[in-house]
């Protein structure tokens, strides 16, 4: 047996070959005097069978689920009618547990506690273990693929990746959700968005993007708000608002295609979200004012329990109902100036509204927020004033409007929200390795 071969069994493992595999026992089942172990690693599972004397030795050590082990054996065809991952099983003739390989056990006690844990606190306290389950691990594996797909799709479009700072002294999306901290005696914040920095990069690097953490001190517990989330952001130079929408549609669809191009990933998504099909293009485009009318027509009220009016923020509940009824992606555009961020360009045809877009997905609602940016110096100064922002700390951002300004725009996409939509997750927390939200900063 060659020690270097067959560490992870690939699908083309040939029946009759003797291989060595490492992994952890996902399940251990005893039937008569035979042990069936579903061995797993990050790439898949394999059924391993121990019988005869080997099974007796195995029995003596009372093997627990999640114990790690090395098994050697021969790949065999399955008996008629039997099913197993890979369509083969390993007839084991040798096994060894590494030092400390045996798992503590007691999973049944955990399972019982978890069953009564409607808020999922225990599941999240034990995230380091629950991550090993099929659902959690598959979501993390899909997430890895989606990040790869974004990097690939951006590269295909000749975007360059940059890495803006997380420790900042400027706000982007309003003071209410800033995490403040003391930076050598100066008040500073964890970044809410890398947008302002991306805007400064386009003259030197062209269209740019980043995939970085953003932080929001969200003081509410919802299915789609995190305190720390992964933000896919891009900035495009010399574009129109229409170009921005076309690009957004293209990148979302390309990322889905790339994600599904790996059959293992496609199978995970099908299992998590049965019947998922990529959305058709073009996406439905709906102006904010038409959405307000739609909400009035459908008798969906605002947060105060009154009929919606122009100027209202469309709150999460109303937005979700609208998206679920329409049941396909929506580009909601042209939000009023008063309810949007300071940097957004006004629509020249209706100065009450901005060239802004939210992309809404069924089951989640907003997954993307984007806009054209104010490119005029005086207009930007007026916007700071309106928002109560002291322009002193923003000189590096404002300067862009003095040194070769351009019509430009961009967007931010919440990776966890994208995954919640793609994998039909109940909350964005399930799309995080170790979620952070109000009340949780561990493990």
- Binding string, 357-376, against ligand 4AD, x = CB under 6 A? ---------xxxxx------
Least gap, CB of 179 to ligand 4AD (angstroms): 11
Going from the C-alpha of 71 to that of each of 38, 96, 238, 252, the distances in angstroms are 12, 7, 59, 43
Euclidean distance between CA atoms 153 and 141, whole angstroms: 18
Across-strand partners of 160?
208
- Choice between 23 and 329, CB closer to Mg ion: 329
In this structure, the dihedral spanned by the alpha carbons of residues 269, 274, 279 and 284, taken in order and rounded to 10 degrees, is: -130
Interface positions, 178-197, toward ligand 4AD (CB under 6 A) = 193, 195
Among 26, 88, 127, 216, binds ligand 4AD (CB under 6 A): 216
For residue 174, give the nearest of 311, 340, 334 by alpha carbon: 340
- Choice between 25 and 353, CB closer to ligand 4AD: 353
Euclidean distance between CA atoms 21 and 39, whole angstroms: 9
According to the binding rule CB under 5 A, does residue 369 interact with Mg ion? yes
| Cis peptide leading into residue 443 (ω within 30°) | yes
Euclidean distance between CA atoms 430 and 439, whole angstroms: 16
- Choice between 260 and 372, CB closer to Mg ion: 372
Across-strand partners of 46?
39
According to the binding rule CB under 6 A, does residue 200 interact with ligand 4AD? no
- Choice between 6 and 370, CB closer to Mg ion: 370
- Choice between 1 and 441, CB closer to ligand 4AD: 441
Could you please report the per-residue DSSP string of 400-442?
GGTSS---EEEEEEEHHHHHHHHTT-SSGGGGSSS--BTTB--
According to the binding rule CB under 6 A, does residue 218 interact with ligand 4AD? yes
Single out the segment in contact with Mg ion by CB under 5 A; choices: 68-76, 264-272, 325-333, 369-377. 369-377
According to the binding rule CB under 6 A, does residue 225 interact with ligand 4AD? yes
Question: Which of ligand 4AD, Mg ion, none lies near 428, with the C-beta cut-off 5 to 8 A by kind?
Answer: ligand 4AD
According to the binding rule CB under 6 A, does residue 414 interact with ligand 4AD? yes
Question: Which of ligand 4AD, Mg ion, none lies near 225, with the C-beta cut-off 5 to 8 A by kind?
Answer: ligand 4AD
According to the binding rule CB under 6 A, does residue 410 interact with ligand 4AD? yes
According to the binding rule CB under 6 A, does residue 212 interact with ligand 4AD? no
Euclidean distance between CA atoms 411 and 357, whole angstroms: 9
Among 233, 249, 319, 430, binds ligand 4AD (CB under 6 A): 233
Question: Which of Mg ion, ligand 4AD, none lies near 411, with the C-beta cut-off 5 to 8 A by kind?
Answer: ligand 4AD
Least gap, CB of 369 to Mg ion (angstroms): 3
On the CB side of 168, CA atoms within 13 Å amount to 23
- Pair of tokens at residue 234: 């891009």
- Choice between 87 and 175, CB closer to Mg ion: 175
Among 123, 146, 172, 431, binds ligand 4AD (CB under 6 A): 172
According to the binding rule CB under 6 A, does residue 430 interact with ligand 4AD? no
Residue 44 Rama label (left phi>0; alpha psi -120 to 50; beta): left
- Choice between 66 and 319, CB closer to ligand 4AD: 319
- Alpha-helical (H) ranges within 186-304 are 195-205, 241-260, 263-272, 288-297
For residue 395, give the nearest of 405, 380, 409 by alpha carbon: 380
What is the strand order of the sheet 167-168 is part of?
167-168, 186-190, 179-183
According to the binding rule CB under 5 A, does residue 164 interact with Mg ion? no
For binding to ligand 4AD (CB under 6 A), which residues are involved? 172-173, 193, 195, 216, 218, 225-226, 229, 231, 233, 366-370, 410-414, 416-417, 428
For binding to Mg ion (CB under 5 A), which residues are involved? 369
């Amino acid at each position: 047996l060659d020690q270097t071969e067959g560490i992870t069994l690939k699908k083309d493992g040939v029946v009759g070959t003797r291989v060595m595999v490492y992994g952890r026992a996902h399940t251990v089942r005893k039937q008569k005097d035979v042990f069936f172990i579903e061995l797993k690693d990050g790439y898949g599972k394999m059924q391993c069978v121990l019988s005869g004397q080997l099974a007796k030795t195995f029995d003596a050590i009372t093997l627990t689920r999640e114990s790690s082990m090395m098994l050697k054996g021969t790949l065999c065809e399955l008996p008629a009618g039997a099913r197993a991952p890979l369509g083969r099983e390993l007839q084991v003739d040798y096994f060894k547990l590494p030092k400390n390989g045996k798992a503590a056990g007691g999973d049944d006690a955990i399972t019982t506690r978890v069953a009564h844990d409607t808020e999922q606190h225990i599941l999240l306290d034990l995230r380091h273990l629950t991550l090993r389950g099929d659902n959690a691990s598959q979501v993390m594996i899909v997430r890895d693929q989606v990040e790869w797909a974004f990097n690939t799709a951006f590269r295909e479009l000749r975007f360059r990746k940059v890495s803006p700072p997380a420790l900042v002294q400027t706000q982007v999306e309003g003071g209410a959700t800033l995490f403040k901290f003391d930076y050598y005696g100066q008040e500073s914040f964890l970044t809410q968005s890398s947008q302002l920095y991306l805007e400064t990069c386009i003259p030197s690097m062209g269209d740019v993007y980043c995939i970085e953490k953003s932080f929001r001190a969200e003081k509410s517990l919802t299915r789609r708000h995190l305190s720390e989330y992964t933000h896919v952001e891009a900035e495009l130079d010399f574009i129109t608002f229409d170009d921005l929408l076309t690009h957004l549609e293209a990148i979302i669809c390309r990322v889905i295609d790339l994600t599904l191009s790996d059959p293992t990933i496609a199978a995970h998504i099908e299992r998590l979200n049965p019947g998922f099909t990529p959305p058709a293009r073009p996406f439905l485009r709906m102006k904010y004012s038409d959405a307000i009318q739609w909400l009035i027509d459908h008798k969906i009220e605002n947060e105060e329990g009154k009929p919606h009016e122009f100027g209202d923020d469309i709150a999460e509940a109303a937005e979700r109902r609208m998206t679920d009824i329409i049941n396909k992606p929506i580009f909601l555009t042209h939000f009023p100036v008063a309810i949007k961020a300071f940097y957004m360009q006004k629509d020249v045809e209706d100065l009450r509204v901005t060239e802004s877009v939210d992309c809404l997905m069924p089951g989640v609602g907003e997954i993307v927020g984007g806009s054209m940016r104010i490119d005029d110096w005086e207009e930007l100064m007026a916007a700071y004033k309106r928002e109560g922002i002291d322009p002193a700390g923003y000189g590096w951002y404002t300067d862009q409007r003095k040194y070769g300004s351009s019509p430009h725009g961009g967007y931010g996409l919440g990776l966890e929200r994208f995954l919640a939509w793609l994998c039909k997750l109940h909350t964005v927390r399930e799309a995080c390795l170790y979620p952070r939200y109000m009340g949780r900063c561990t493990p």
